[in-house]
Chains A and B, each alone.
Chain A
Amino acid sequence: MSLVVDYGGALLLIVTFLSCLAAPVPSSLLMLTGGGFVASGDLTLINAASAAYFGAILGDQTGFQIGRRAGPLIESKLAKAPKRAALQHKATGFIEHYGGAGVFLSRWLFSPLGPYVNFAAGAAGLNWIRFTVWASIGESVWVTIYIGLGFVFADRITGLADILSNASGFLAAGIVTVGLGFWLHMAAKQAKSRKPH
């Protein structure tokens, strides 16, 4: 983390870029630290915020493009197994419908899911403009929250980082639990309606 002071903006840019591609880098922690260093005067806000933001934008776009290239390949493989193809069709429909909100919320509220949403959205053929608009707005929220919190709670970043990392894990796991639970519920309903009376 001493690298943040020495290489400030450049480091933030690289790390946020990688985090949008599912690389296990502590981007949120570094952004909090960046905010703290803005408070202590070791970094400028412009430097920190714009570097983090552009790294994230670039990372999202890259992930989306990777998904887009891989999409047709995956689809052709799945088409061979009818059950999986049906599942994939459902997923695509879901993404089409909730795409914007999903991209937006996975930038900051459910951030651990972000990179996977990038790949899935690209693969599902989500409209690029729609993706970019929601990703850009969402990333600005993310950068503002983390650098902002780092700034406000600069005197206790270590603690804040601990709390926030668990909070974001909680939210991401939580929404997945809700989604899977809903899916189970639908499956149970279907099974019930199919039972002969």
Chain B
Amino acid sequence: MLALWRSHKLLLIAFMLAAVLTIGFGVRMLLFSVYWSDPDHQNQPLESWMTPRYVALSYKIERDDVRKIFGIEQSPETRMTLQSIAKLQGVTLEAMQSQLDAFVVDRLSK
């Protein structure tokens, strides 16, 4: 082992670095798998890039319900992102999230 250190220092360091990275990624992969398999985490928090159709898919709600919640029933635009909807209506993403959460809770209690 010592002889290797003397003759192939760089290689040994590279190897150990690669091994540490492998373990690091592996651990993170497992941790995220555990986190995301929890059904509580599966209603994805709203992000600006999502569309109403996508939200409907993620929260397993009808598209029409989503449009009602976000107040865009009249809008002919189908591919709007939440970012543009928020801008249009002068609301924040957080406000939209609360409206959505309220709907979900209400539906579950029925």
| Complex contact A155–B29 (CB within 8 A) | no
Interface residues of B in 10-46 (CB under 8 A from A): 11-12, 14-15, 18-19, 21-22, 24-26, 28-29, 32-33, 35-36, 41-42, 44-45
Complex Cα spacing A90 to B58, Å: 51
Complex Cα spacing A163 to B34, Å: 10
Interface size band for A: 35 or more
> Is residue A149 within 8 Å, beta carbon to beta carbon, of the partner chain?
no
> Is residue B4 within 8 Å, beta carbon to beta carbon, of the partner chain?
yes
Q: What number of A-B contacts does a CB cutoff of 8 Å give?
A: 113
Known A42-B51, A166-B25; judge A154-B32 contact (CB<8 A). Answer: no
Contact with A180, one of B18, B47, B53 (Cβ below 8 angstroms): B18
Interface size band for B: 35 or more
| Complex contact B18–A5 (CB within 8 A) | no
Name B's interface SS. helix
| Complex contact A173–B11 (CB within 8 A) | no
> Is residue A46 within 8 Å, beta carbon to beta carbon, of the partner chain?
no
> Is residue A1 within 8 Å, beta carbon to beta carbon, of the partner chain?
yes
| Complex contact A157–B53 (CB within 8 A) | no
CB closest residue in chain A, given B7: A191
CB closest residue in chain A, given B41: A159
| Complex contact B21–A166 (CB within 8 A) | no
Complex Cα spacing A42 to B54, Å: 8
| Complex contact B29–A159 (CB within 8 A) | no
Complex Cα spacing A2 to B32, Å: 24
| Complex contact A1–B19 (CB within 8 A) | no
Map CB proximity to A onto B50-88 as digits: 1 under 8 Å, 0 otherwise: 010110111110000000000000000001010110000
Map CB proximity to A onto B93-107 as digits: 1 under 8 Å, 0 otherwise: 000000000000000
> Beyond the given A159-B36, A173-B21, A181-B19, could you list 8 further A-B residue pairs with CB under 8 A, ordered by the A residue number?
A40-B56, A155-B44, A174-B22, A177-B15, A177-B19, A187-B7, A188-B4, A191-B7
11 intermolecular pairs with C-beta atoms under 8 Å apart = A1-B48, A2-B81, A6-B79, A40-B53, A160-B36, A170-B26, A174-B26, A177-B15, A180-B14, A184-B11, A188-B3
